[in-house]
Every structure is written in structure tokens, then in C-alpha cells.
Chains A and B, each alone.
Chain A
Amino acid sequence: MTNPYEVLGVSPDASDEEIKKAYRELAKKYHPDNYANSPLADVAEQKMKEVNEAYDEINRMRQKGKGTGSTAGNTGGYSSNGSTSQFYSVRIYIQRNMIQEAEQILDSTPEGSRTAEWHYLKGMCAFRKGWSDQANMYFNTACNMDPNNTEYRAALNNMNGQRTYNYGGYNTSQRGNVGSTGCTCCDICAAYMCADCLCSCCRTGC
């Protein structure tokens, strides 16, 4: 294993407080919520694991009892309710990042049976490919067809969070607030927080 101090980006003689702070920052950075639908979710999970291990290791070395050991749980990004769905195989393909195969099945589905779930999965395929605009359209359709589905809603909220990303909530430009968009820094923060709340609601709901 690599040097746990290097993993956390602190010097070996850093204080316990500094280590805790560095750990918290990294844990926030790699938090599964940030990578909810991302094709890189598993990479973030791996990083999170490394950070957790490094933190535990340092704690062990410093004989401070056990670390938090809060290794991230399952972050597959999919709730298990998919097992009964008619698109079960599509979900499996998406999970394995086999987007072409998933799209083939979806595209061969007749027009009549293109349900909300179909649109959701189509959006997921587009998103994984990097085609964010189409993904947005499909997620919107899915949510309109089935407004009570928490899974679709969470995906759409995640999209909206990304679409309001600008300056990470910090605004130096006088142009931030001109014309018809009229979206201030505060609006963005507020919108993001709302989206975040909704997201966490869903997570516990699922």
C-alpha cells in the first residue's frame, strides 16, 4: 500500500486535526452523491476507499483507537427495484458500461411500449456517452410521464445541479447578472441546495 500520508496529501508530522480536515475534504470530494450517475462512479468509489483506508491506517499508527472506517457502501447508482423491470437486461448493460448493447435493446422496443422507464434508461445511455443534452431531454420526459418516481426525479435533479454549475458558487464577473437570465449566485446556490435536499430524500426513500 502507498504511504497513507501521501494519499491524504498531508505531511507525516501533521497534527490530528489537520489530518481529520484533509480526510473530510477528500471524503466530500469523492462522495458518491457527486458521482450519482457518472460513468466514473466506480473510480470515485475506489478513491474513496483508498482515502478511508489511509485514514484508518494513520489512526491505527497513531494508536488513537479505531478510525471512522466509514467505507462507502454500495454506490452502483441504481436502486434494486430494477430487478422486476422489463428492462432488466438494459440496466445490467448500463451498469457494466456496455452502452451500445443497452441502446440496441432500447431502440428495438416498439413505439407503443416506450414507458417512462424506457425514457429514463435512454437518458442514462446518453448521459454515459457524454451526450448531456439528450440525456436532459429524456430524463424530463421520464419525469413528466411518471412524476412520482423517485429514481427518475433523482436523475433529473442531478442534471439540474450540473447545469447550474458555474464558479462553484463564487462570482467575480459583473456579467453574472445581466439580461433575461437574471440568475444570481444566490439563486444558483439555493437551487443547488434544493436539488441536493431532494436527492438525499430520494436516497433514503429508495
Chain B
Amino acid sequence: MFGYLQVQKSELLVREWEAYQSVYCGLCRQMGRDYSFLARLSLSYDCTFYAMLLMSLRRSCEGFDNGRCTFNPLKKCRFARCADSAYSKAAAFSVISAFYKLQDDLSDSGFFKRLLVRLVKPFFSRWHKKAARNYPELETLAAQMMQAQRQTEQDSACGIDAAAHPTGDMLGSVLRLEAQDDMQKRVFYEFGYQIGRWIYLMDAADDLDDDKKRGGFNPFAHYTGDDLRAYQTATLNQSLARAADAYQLITIIDFKGILDNMLRFGFPAKQNSVVFGKQEEEHDESI
């Protein structure tokens, strides 16, 4: 995953910000316990969002512990306690998606990056096996997604909807696992689908320049209109709007302020920085 699912810190209450950090630290600690010290490096904001959503839906946060950060023992931090498997599941998801991301990088990146990937991949393979054993349903969905993605990318002009479909479908199906009844299944799927679609398109918008240089697949490469950024913004906005519509239909009690913040401020802010950030750099250069 890619780390686009962030909070807008300036709009959070201090206690919400602390709770957010403590979920991040709690998940990090869990990755150390379940996999290894190094596996923690694959932790992303996206998986923190997933963990937080799981904990909120299951109401599994029991309180907070004080402790110290493993990477920096001088730093005190708090850990959110979790009564069930929400952390383990998110940790497994993080490892599984990191593994597939590495595999993907092997096929389409430069020489030095490939070398680096070759070095770390054996570790990830081992953790990946363990995660797949513990959560086979996550593994199946991720593997299906990779296959569908490869097939879709055969046709370089398949359009952005088709290109984003595997990721959307995967995240939708992952969240659908949490649903209690048919109605929830549809709501969770739609929410996950739109968030997944958004993540995929954000990544595509982010990588467009690189992909153009190296001739890699990118769904935005075929855009022929005259305002690419407006087009990207419109289609990304729409995914967020639809995700927000679905989100409103989910009963959120714990961490509501934080999750609301992400949907309303965090994601749009990240989107603007990805879509318009590069433009500003270009703008600066031209001055």
C-alpha cells in the first residue's frame, strides 16, 4: 500500500491525535510480535487506517498503555490496547500487500531498485507465508488482485475505470469480510471499492511522470484533453464523494472524530498535494 490514507493533523483534537498515534504504535508493536523487528518497516498509514476502522467497527479498543518506542528507546509512546485480532489482521494485510508490492516492483523498476528489492525479498517471503497461513482469505484476495491487475495492464489503453477495478474490488472484498448482514456487505464493499479506486488512481497520478519516462503502464498516460489536473481532480473527487456517501451509512462510534477527519480533510488534502504539488514545483522552477 502507499500511505495516502492520512489524517489532517491541524483539524484533529489533541486527544484524537494522540489516539491516532497510539493505534499506529500499537500496530507497529504487533508487527514486531507477529513477524519481525524489520517487518515494522513495511507499516504504512493505509494499514493504520484499516486497523483503526476494524477496531472502530468491532469496538475492540480497550484503553491505552504507556511504553517506549523500539526504534527510539528515548521516545515515550502510548499503545492502544486491542481486545481482538484487529491488529493481527491489519499486520497480516500490511505484510501481504508489501510482499506483492515488492513483486510488482521487481517487474517494473530501475536497476538499483531491483537490486534492493532482491535483497529484502527473502525476508518478506517468509513473513508473507506466515501471514497467508493466518489469514488465507486476505491472501486469496490479494493474489486475485495481482492477477487481475496484470491481465488488465495487458491492454495499455484499457481506461482508468478498468485499471482501477482490481484494487477497488480487492479493498471492497477485504472490508466486506467484516460485515454482519447483506446490507452491511454492500455498504462496506462500496466504501472499500471507492477508497481502493482512489488509492490506485492517486498512485497513478503520482507516478505519471516516471511511468512516461520509462514507458510503464499508467492509466492517465492516454489522456488527450487539455487539463490533466482538472481531470484527475474530478475523477478522484468523485471516488471520495462516493466513499463518503457509503461511510455515512456505517455506524461508527469509536474513533469517529479521527475517521471523519480523514474522509473530510485528510484524504482531500493528500489528493491536492499529489495532484497540484508537482505543478507547484514546476512553477517554482520556471520562476
Q: Which residues of B contact A163 (CB under 8 A)?
A: 234-235, 237-238, 241
The answer on a CB contact under 8 Å between B264 and A167 is: yes
Q: In the bound complex, do residue B165 and residue A162 qualify as a contact, i.e. CB atoms below 8 Å apart?
A: no
Is A108 in the interface zone, CB < 8 Å from B?
no
> Interface extent on A, as a size class?
35 or more
Q: Is B249 a contact partner of A165 (Cβ separation < 8 A)?
A: no
Q: How large is the interface on B (under 10, 10 to 19, 20 to 34, 35 or more residues)?
A: 35 or more
In angstroms, Cα B194 to Cα A183, docked, is 24
**Closest B residue by C-beta to A30:** B248
Kindly state whether residue B229 has any CB partner on chain A within 8 Å: yes
Nearest A-chain residue to B248, judged by Cβ: A29
What is the count of residue pairs linking A and B with beta-carbon distances less than 8 angstroms? 113
B134 interfacial contact with A, CB 8 Å: no
Chain A nearest CB from B246 CB (Å) reads 6
B280→A40 contact, CB < 8 A = no
Distance in angstroms from B224 CB to nearest chain A CB is 13
| Most chain B beta-carbon neighbours within 10 Å: one of A35, A43, A132 | A132
Q: Is B244 among interface residues, defined by CB-CB distance under 8 A?
A: yes
Q: With A132-B239, A133-B159, A180-B227 given, is the CB distance from A175 to B272 under 8 Å?
A: yes
Given that A134-B159, A163-B234 are known contacts, is A47 also in contact with B249, CB under 8 Å in the complex?
Answer: yes
Does B8 contact A172, Cβ atoms closer than 8 Å? yes
Residues from chain A with a CB closer than 8 A to the CB of B244 are 165
Please determine whether A44 and B249 come into contact, CB atoms closer than 8 angstroms.
yes
Please, what's the 1-or-0 string for A26-57, where 1 marks a CB less than 8 Å from any CB in chain B?
Answer: 00011000110011100110110000000000
- Taking a contact as CB atoms under 8 Å apart, the answer to whether A175 and B273 are in contact is yes
A131 proximity list for chain B (CB < 8 A): 161-162, 165
Most chain A C-beta atoms within 10 Å of own C-beta, residue among B168, B244, B245: B245
Asked whether B276 is an interface residue with its Cβ less than 8 Å from the other chain, the reply is yes
- Minimum Cβ distance to chain A for residue B196 (Å): 9
Q: Is A159 at the interface (CB under 8 A from chain B)? A: yes
Q: List 26 A-B contacts (CB under 8 A).
A: A29-B248, A30-B249, A34-B245, A38-B190, A39-B190, A40-B246, A44-B249, A130-B161, A130-B193, A130-B197, A131-B165, A132-B161, A132-B235, A132-B238, A136-B238, A161-B241, A162-B237, A162-B238, A162-B242, A164-B234, A165-B237, A166-B240, A166-B272, A175-B272, A175-B276, A180-B229
